[in-house]
Chain A
Amino acid sequence: MKFIGKFDPLKDEVVRIMDKNGKIIDEKLVPKMTDKELIDAYSLMNLSRRQDDFQNKAQRQGRLLSFLSSTGQEASEIGYTLPLIKGKDWFSSGYRNNAAWLSVGMPMRNIMLYWMGNEYGGQSPKGVNSLPPNIIIGSQFSHATGIAFAEKYRGTGGVAVTTTGDGGMSEGETYEAMNFAKIHELPVIFICENNKWAISTPYKKSTKSLNIAVKGIATGMPSIKVDGNDLLAVYAVAKEAVEHARSGKGPVFIECDTYRLGAHSSSDNPDIYRPKAEFEEALKSDPLIRMKKYLIDKKIWTDKKQEALDKKQDEFIRAEFDWAEANKSYELEDVFNFQFAEKTPDLEKQYKEAKEFFAKYPEVAKGGHH
């Protein structure tokens, strides 16, 4: 163990491998990653950031209902999802997890569909074990615990990862889930992305704890705080935690110390409540810039490569968005078909009633009466 049990949250110790300028602080802690793995991880961070930007513009044009951006949290989200094995491990998300969803294999078009108000976006494709965005804060911790219970029960070796924000740590269910998971020594990693703001409530008004990581200690599980804007640190710690859980040693709690650079949601304006100086200070720790500097110093990245990547990703984002927009509506059947395994007689009757009505008055199905 390089990290777990070595960095003590009760002393507010933080795992950090690279500094704000992407310079390595402690070579001994650097995780083994090939150049390709590093570039792939960075590309995913970049993709998520650009998707956030694109969606913000689309939302202002009224082409997206509303969404919650991951801008500022990319190192954390990519860091803790990279050690997962696709098709074997699980991700039980919160609602601000764009980079993580991309990383576990959710097609971007699904994510977009979800934010356009289509439940098909919440369906992970075959081979991807990911629950849809979770709007009810905290319950994703319980679901991950149940999923992990099933993995341990069957001995199938999968690990579940779940995450919430600093605000989510005020929910009783987050503690309840960690307690349950530790009682049964389940293979689940609980993450708190402490991004300092729960909509407009600052971290300092959410808790009087020394840090968030200490909240895991009460359950008896190893808990650790990591610089959430340092991809190398999050990845290294998460990898160790996943191995710990997979080997049967039980759950781990990780606090990723990060910052929400964007708004809470596309309907929110942080300028109202967020001190400007704090935001500008936070920009200096932007995980994307930090990672880019690291790759450039390592001589595996250039501004020219960046330009080409941006261009390629923008085209991809546009194509995914166009697809989602063209496919966002669905048929009447779809609102009746997924309530139960089979429609009850009453539901069948209601479906027929609706079908007859909309056949006669198709304009009502288009909405627009507001």
Chain B
Amino acid sequence: MKVLNNVKAVSEALEVAMEKWDDVVVYGEDAGYEGGVFRATEGLQAKFGEKRCFDAPISEAVFAGVAIGMAVNKMKPVVELQFEGLGWPSLQNILGHMGRMRNRTRGKYPTPVVIRMPMGGGIRALELHSEAMEAMYAHTPGIKVVCPSTPYDTKGLILAAIESPDPVIVFEPTKLYRAFKQEVPEGFYTVEIGKAFKIQEGNDLTVVTYGAQTVDCQKAIDELEEKNPDVTIELIDLRSIQPWDKEMIFESVKKTGRLLVVHEAIRSFSVSAEIIASVNEECFEYLKAPSMRCTGYDIVIPFDSGEAYHQPHPKKILVKMEEILNYKF
């Protein structure tokens, strides 16, 4: 076992993958010599050489497109986008080709590319450095989307993504890169894509979240449970956004009868919209209150001075949980 934070878990995953598979290459802006702005790829070039870990020119469209060509020609590229919001030029290739190539060649040329990107706010960054647009990627057919929140899941999900025969986007919550450490097994292991993780059991309310909000939710739940010792909350870390673990969430909602979904991404057409719609379809007669959500608003992510208005906060989550628990038909 090693004790790692999230960003070190990324490096560890990439190192293990590069040792395991000769055809894994890692690149992105500054990802080579310096190891990226967050140092997620630190040490990889020194260990594996410039052939396998290198700096890409600042041209996101091309390095997503090149990854598609590499994957068509049977390599396993792992691309680092410096920040999610700086990756918009790559959408042309991610949405227009990466998700479609398997289908348009009827399976002949799958594109098992992995694209990693730091996401989310709370890091006092500049404009376009705090985006959370995971729903847009999850909405795109042919692409899988994961968002780990712990070092164990980070390493396991990145390795699962690289092993996957399908393209996978890995969202890494920037705020959690160095937030805490955890024991992580050495060597190769995977966390299955599509499986959620139950952080704690409870009977009265199911809270579903992912990314940096797992920490906010835990804080809110601790406070609520302390105030109300007879109330217990079930907290689920989604981990995998597309596909997502319907089974675990439906089972939990059927038990608790109440659902809150929490994320920092903007509200409309979001991951919470999808989960709540699905719960309505599958668990309607079990519900004791309307399913609710605590999310960012439908606004351009505010600069640092206004960011607190937008981000879910333990207090906001707490208020929302109480609203559901106190709901009367």
Contacts and interface: CB of A to CB of B under 8 A. Distances in A.
B194 A177 contact: no
B62 A92 contact: no
A346 interface: yes
Contacts of A346: 243, 246
B166 A136 contact: no
Interface string B184-211: 0000000000100000000000000000
Nearest to A152: B51
Interface stretch (A202-210, A241-249, A263-271, A337-345): A337-345
A139 B93 contact: yes
Contact of A176 (B59, B97, B166, B243): B59
Contacts of A123: 105-108
B2 interface: no
Interface in B62-112: 62-75, 77, 89, 92-93, 96-97, 102-110
Interface stretch (A141-149, A253-261, A358-366): A141-149
Interface residues of A, number: 42
Given A124-B105, A142-B62, A340-B166, A153 B51 contact: yes
Report the contact-size class of chain B (Cβ under 8 Å from the partner): 35 or more
A151 B74 CA distance: 10
Interface string A274-301: 0000000000000000000000000000
Which applies to chain A's interface (DSSP): helix, strand, loop or mixed?
helix
Contacts of B166: 340-341
B104 A132 contact: yes
28 contacts: A119-B103, A120-B106, A123-B105, A123-B106, A124-B105, A132-B104, A139-B96, A139-B97, A143-B68, A145-B66, A147-B70, A149-B73, A149-B75, A150-B74, A160-B69, A176-B57, A176-B61, A176-B62, A177-B65, A179-B57, A180-B59, A180-B63, A183-B57, A338-B107, A339-B103, A340-B142, A340-B166, A344-B243
Interface of B: 23, 25, 51, 56-57, 59, 61-75, 77, 89, 92-93, 96-97, 102-110, 141-142, 144, 164-166, 194, 243, 246-247
Interface of A: 90, 92, 119-120, 122-124, 131-132, 136, 139, 141-151, 153-154, 160, 172-173, 176-177, 179-180, 183, 334, 337-341, 344-347
